[in-house]
């Protein structure tokens, strides 16, 4: 009696891994969880104070579906300040996190038989929501040797008459890849030839770019394509506000209107208290963002170096976000310290949790087998201990039969 289209839709692997870690911790084990993309910093005090004031002032009623006037204005100012992008009031929407925005956009535009081009590795919401909308994700495999960037020529080859979206996510979850403006410009050249394709620019980690890299977003790089681009972001990662569930996007009015229809019938407007907090985050002091960015960059560099030092593991330092995405295919097959034969990244992560009590997420969850994702949004002490445990776990590596294919 359940919908048949849900049969092939799994729960998010990140959430499952986090739940397994919590269960083991609740059983009394010392577990280090590097699963969720959740800042370990507290929400800034002035943001919490703004929410408190809003609640006391009675801002607890049903809000507008697209967002309060104050938050829409703050989002408009943010886009102008950070990317020199100008959006009118009817070109902005606020959702229950960026995932709501992505859901709104895909459900509002996809029909059965449509296709969505998704570079690999990817955040798993893109293909899963695509399938929920009875459409088909088309995967483009991006290699570590190419900095996990999609080749414009391969994007061109993947586009068909059924293509409805190209999804771009930089800095990337899970790889931490950053796409330079010049590379985006080459992709824009391809997209100009295909006016029937929308472009989704998921910039959720836009402010968490490490030293030596610069953020670029498609609507700023190719302003002539702006009427086909949805620029997505939110306060979750930048301001350590994951639980507040406030995302937003700027895009053409006709698309925003369609997305508003979807949101109005699925969830409605975001809590006005949370929106007041988001206004304070966007309009308030930004020094905490620089502090968090520096911390994540330092942590990621240390963890990446520790992983790369393990025989059989390859790991370049990411350029953004707060993830490290080591390639463990050189270890496989291996025998764990507990005597379990491991032939895949999923088996590696399962044994790492049960034997070393370190929780990670298998690369297959992001479309790329033979990798694991480690969140560096944890304390330096926890990361150091996790690296120590992973290195000891990998010392059990036995003779290999050759590396497996890294693409799932």
238: which 2 tokens? Answer: 């930048």
Q: In angstroms, how far is the first alpha carbon of the chain from the final one?
A: 31
> What are the domain boundaries of the chain?
4-42+288-394, 45-283
| Per-residue pLDDT, 397 | 65
79: which 2 tokens? Answer: 């886009």
CA-CA-CA-CA dihedral for 292, 98, 244, 22, to nearest 10: -80
41 DSSP 8-state letter: S
Block means of pLDDT (10 residues each) for the chain, length 408 residues?
78 80 85 92 97 98 97 98 97 97 98 97 95 96 95 98 98 96 98 98 96 86 98 98 97 98 96 98 95 95 96 94 97 94 96 96 96 96 97 74 40
Residue 28 neighbours by CB under 8 Å, 6+ apart? none
Q: How open is the CA angle 267-271-275, to the nearest 5 degrees?
A: 125
| Per-residue pLDDT, 76 | 98
d(CA 195, CA 93): 23
The CATH code of the domain at 4-42+288-394 is 3.90.1150.10
Query: If you write DSSP's letter for every residue of 249-281 in order, what string do you get?
Result: EE--HHHHHHHHHHHHHHT-S--HHHHHHHHHH
| Per-residue pLDDT, 399 | 40
**Number of neighbouring beta carbons within 10 Å of residue 16:** 14
Q: Domain 45-283: which topology?
A: 3.40.640
By CB atoms closer than 10 A (0-12, 13-18, 19+), residue 75 is: buried
196: which 2 tokens? Answer: 């029937």
| Per-residue pLDDT, 406 | 38
Q: How far is CA 18 from the centre of its chain?
A: 16
321: which 2 tokens? Answer: 């976000």
| Per-residue pLDDT, 235 | 98
Bridge partners (DSSP) of residue 250 are 92, 231
**Number of neighbouring beta carbons within 10 Å of residue 119:** 27
pTM: 0.93
């Amino acid at each position: 009696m359940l919908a048949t289209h849900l049969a092939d839709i799994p729960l998010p692997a990140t959430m499952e891994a986090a739940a397994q870690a919590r269960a083991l911790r609740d059983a009394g084990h010392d577990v280090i969880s590097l699963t969720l993309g959740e800042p370990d910093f507290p929400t800034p005090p002035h943001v919490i104070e703004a929410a408190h004031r809003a609640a006391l002032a009675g801002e607890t009623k049903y809000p507008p579906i697209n967002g309060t006037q104050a938050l829409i204005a703050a989002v408009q100012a943010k886009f102008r300040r950070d990317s020199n992008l100008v959006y009118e009031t009817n070109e902005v929407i606020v959702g229950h996190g960026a995932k709501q925005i992505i859901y709104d956009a895909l459900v509002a535009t996809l029909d059965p038989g449509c296709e969505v081009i998704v570079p690999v590795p990817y955040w798993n919401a893109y293909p899963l929501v695509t399938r929920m909308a009875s459409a088909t994700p088309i995967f483009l495999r991006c290699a570590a040797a190419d900095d996990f960037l999609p080749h414009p020529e391969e994007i061109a080859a993947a586009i068909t008459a059924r293509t409805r979206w190209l999804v771009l996510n930089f800095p990337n979850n899970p790889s931490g890849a950053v796409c330079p403006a010049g590379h985006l410009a080459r992709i824009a050249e391809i997209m100009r030839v295909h006016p029937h394709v929308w472009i989704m620019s998921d910039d959720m980690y836009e402010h968490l770019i490490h030293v030596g890299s610069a953020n670029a977003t498609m609507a700023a790089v190719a302003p002539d394509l702006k009427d086909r681009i949805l620029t997505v972001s939110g306060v979750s990662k930048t301001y350590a506000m994951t639980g507040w569930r406030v995302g937003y996007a700027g895009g053409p009015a006709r698309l925003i209107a369609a997305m508003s229809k979807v949101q109005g019938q699925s969830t409605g407007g975001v809590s006005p208290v949370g929106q007041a907090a988001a206004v304070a985050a966007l309009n308030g002091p930004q020094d905490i963002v620089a502090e968090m960015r520096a911390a994540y960059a330092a942590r990621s560099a240390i963890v990446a170096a520790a992983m790369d030092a393990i025989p059989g593991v390859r790991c370049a330092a990411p350029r953004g976000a707060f993830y490290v995405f080591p390639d463990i295919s050189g270890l496989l097959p291996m025998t764990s310290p507990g005597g379990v034969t491991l032939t895949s990244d999923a088996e590696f992560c399962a044994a790492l949790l049960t034997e070393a009590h370190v929780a990670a997420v298998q690369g297959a969850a992001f479309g790329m087998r033979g990798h694991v994702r480690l969140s560096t949004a944890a304390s330096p002490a926890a990361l150091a201990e996790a690296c120590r445990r992973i290195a000891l776990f990998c010392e059990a590596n036995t003779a290999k039969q050759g590396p497996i294919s890294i693409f799932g």
